[in-house]
Amino acid sequence: MQQLPVMESFYTLQGEGYYQGHAAYFIRLGGCDVGCVWCDVKESWDASKHPYLTIDAIVNQAVQTVTQLAGSTKNVLCVITGGEPLLHPLNALTTALQKVGFLTNIETSGSSPLSGSWNWICLSPKKFKAPIPEIIPLANELKVVIFNKSDFKWAETYAAATNAQCKLYLQPEWDKAAIVTPLIIEYIQHHPKWELSLQIHKYIHIS
């Protein structure tokens, strides 16, 4: 029976990107080989430090948590994140989540092969380990973290490879938000195909 390393799971609001402000159940899987220097969940990197749970246990916990507050899991967003979730085979997990009514959403750097059945794919490419080219056209959402001015040109290389319906977001790196947010605002004014993504969960102090 398949097991996955689960660092944490919780029901909250999605704080960034296309589904910002929506209720969402998060499943954060352990394990990452990307190693962003500014990562705010570095404790997720080592999968061996987190309990391995069966698919049934993960899904049962999700159902119990969400139905206790929302009454149903129907069309509730379930976000699979990490770490880098695509280090793990996700077909069984996503199939089980969709079977009980969840909409499945992945947040990934795209640096490992895609698995799973997804209602929404958020691709957040990283310079530390590039995404697999085949994943880029499949993204529903491209979310690029801006750390310095050179990241704008880098972001455009990925935007050019997305599909025509893909939503494009620029997001300030949290620790440099005061510096880069004004740069992002100005850039979007000149390049209106992009939108601003803010980590509102950090501003309103929720998980």
Question: 168 has which bridge partners?
Answer: 142, 194
Is it the case that residue 136 has pLDDT exceeding 90?
yes
pLDDT of residue 203: 86
Is it the case that residue 164 has pLDDT exceeding 80?
yes
Residues 75-90, mean pLDDT to the nearest whole number: 97
Residues 25-42, mean pLDDT to the nearest whole number: 89
Indicate the pLDDT class of residue 207, thresholds 50, 70 and 90: confident
Distance separating alpha carbons of residues 96 and 104, to the nearest angstrom: 10
Average pLDDT, the chain: 95
Contact 83/7 with Cβ under 8 angstroms? yes
Residue 99: CB atoms within 10 A of its CB come to 9
In this structure, the strands spanning 120-123 and 77-81 are unpaired
Distance separating alpha carbons of residues 64 and 68, to the nearest angstrom: 6
Picking from 77, 62, 67, 74, the residue whose alpha carbon sits closest to that of residue 23 is: 77
Q: What is the pLDDT of residues 105-119, one digit of tens each?
A: 999 999 999 999 999
- Domains of the chain listed by start with CATH number: 3-203 (3.20.20.70)
Residues 141-158, mean pLDDT to the nearest whole number: 96
pLDDT of residue 70: 97
Contacts of 110 (CB under 8 A, 6+ apart): 86, 123, 124, 125, 131, 132, 135, 136, 139
Task: Give the number of residues written for the chain.
Answer: 207
Three-state SS for 134?
helix
In this structure, the strands spanning 103-108 and 77-81 are parallel
Question: 4 has which bridge partners?
Answer: 53
Residues 24-42, mean pLDDT to the nearest whole number: 90
pLDDT of residue 205: 81
